[in-house]
Amino acid sequence: MTPWRTAIATSDETGLWIRGYDIKDLMKNATFTDLIFVLHQGRMPGAKERGLLDAILVSVADHGAGAPSCAAARLVASGNRESLAAAVAAGLLAVGDDHGGAGTLCMEMLAEGLADGVREGLGVEQVAARILKAAAAEKRRIPGLGHRVHTKDPRVDVLFDMARDAGLKGDAIALLRAIESGLEANGKKIPINVDGALAAVLHEMGFAPSAGKFIFMIGRVAGLTAEVAEEYAREKPMRIRFDVEYDGVPPRPIETPKE
């Protein structure tokens, strides 16, 4: 087998290095959030970058037991008490474009829009108008706006205020705000959600679009562990029941038996 190659971590009998940093130095001098930054960007963050990434991770860690990720983890814990990892992994599997993963689509949209703007000398309003027009033509939802619980997502303003205080450039945030305003001008009140907010901030911090999902997953796994711990501690196996209505064909005989 050809050896695998990696630029992330290496170890020997008594040492371990992550992106070139000695694990002993990291343990003494880096927070976990620093390490997440190191793993994805290959360098230690500054204090303001650390603060923003902390806020993002905190913002997505948990949103209640009924979110698809948390509910999937609890259901698996309800049937399978053999492996804590099985329940947590099932929760992660619920993360996709429609749950927790819109940040990635939003980062792609923002990156493309901002690049178009620079190349063609357009302002954010013009870019936003173009994005809205394209989405309307294709009847697509804009990723990063709207939430099934929140009419106004409490996490958005906090994150954007912190980003401004941290001195980020602000172009991705401005574009996303322009899209939100454009929708409202069209009579659609679909405010920015946490996926959109983290997308704009992660883009401005230099993360690749995949980070929209990866950072959500890291944050959410913290919540999932607590949800699974609570399910084990408070609930019996097989306690979850659903009301299901069958609307298929009525009872009937088998027409062609196997022999």
Q: Which of residues 234-253 bind a second copy (CB under 8 A)?
A: 234, 237-238, 240-253
Q: Is 7 in the site for a second copy (CB under 8 A)?
A: yes
Q: Is 139 in the site for a second copy (CB under 8 A)?
A: no
Q: Is 5 in the site for a second copy (CB under 8 A)?
A: yes
Bridge partners (DSSP) listed for residue 16 = 11
CA distances to 111, 242, 246, 252, 253 from 249, rounded to whole Å, are 49, 21, 9, 8, 12
Which helix (H) or strand (E) segment is 41 a member of?
helix 32-41
Task: Provide, rounded to whole angstroms, the least separation between the CB of residue 13 and a second copy.
Answer: 5
Q: Is 68 in the site for a second copy (CB under 8 A)?
A: yes
- Per CB under 8 A, the list member of 76, 106, 192, 201 interacting with a second copy is 76
Token pair listed for 53: 């990434």
Q: Is 121 in the site for a second copy (CB under 8 A)?
A: no
* 3-state secondary structure (DSSP) of residue 153: coil
**Cβ contact 53:43 at 8 Å:** no
Print burial letters for 84-114: b (CB count within 10 Å at least 16), e (below 16). eeebbebbbebbeeeebbbbbbbbbbbeebb
Residue type, 132: L
- Rank residues 96 and 123 by Cβ distance to a second copy and give the closer one: 96
- Per CB under 8 A, the list member of 103, 114, 155, 179 interacting with a second copy is 155
Q: Is 79 in the site for a second copy (CB under 8 A)?
A: yes
Task: Provide, rounded to whole angstroms, the least separation between the CB of residue 184 and a second copy.
Answer: 17
- Per CB under 8 A, the list member of 121, 137, 187, 256 interacting with a second copy is 256
**Binding residues for a second copy, total number by CB under 8 A:** 138
Q: Select the span of 24-32, 121-129, 172-180, 182-190 touching a second copy (CB under 8 A).
A: 24-32
**Cβ contact 130:11 at 8 Å:** no
Near a second copy in 209-238, by CB under 8 A: 210, 213-215, 217-219, 221-223, 225-230, 232, 234, 237-238
Task: Provide, rounded to whole angstroms, the least separation between the CB of residue 168 and a second copy.
Answer: 16
Which helix (H) or strand (E) segment is 84 a member of?
helix 84-93
Q: Is 144 in the site for a second copy (CB under 8 A)?
A: no
17 vs 20: CA distance, rounded Å: 5
Q: Is 122 in the site for a second copy (CB under 8 A)?
A: no
Q: Is 92 in the site for a second copy (CB under 8 A)?
A: yes
Which helix (H) or strand (E) segment is 16 a member of?
strand 16-18
Closest CA to 18 of 2, 1, 40, 3: 40
42 secondary structure, DSSP code: S
Site string for a second copy, 158-177 (x = CB under 8 A): xx--x---------------
**Cβ contact 191:148 at 8 Å:** no
- Rank residues 20 and 123 by Cβ distance to a second copy and give the closer one: 20
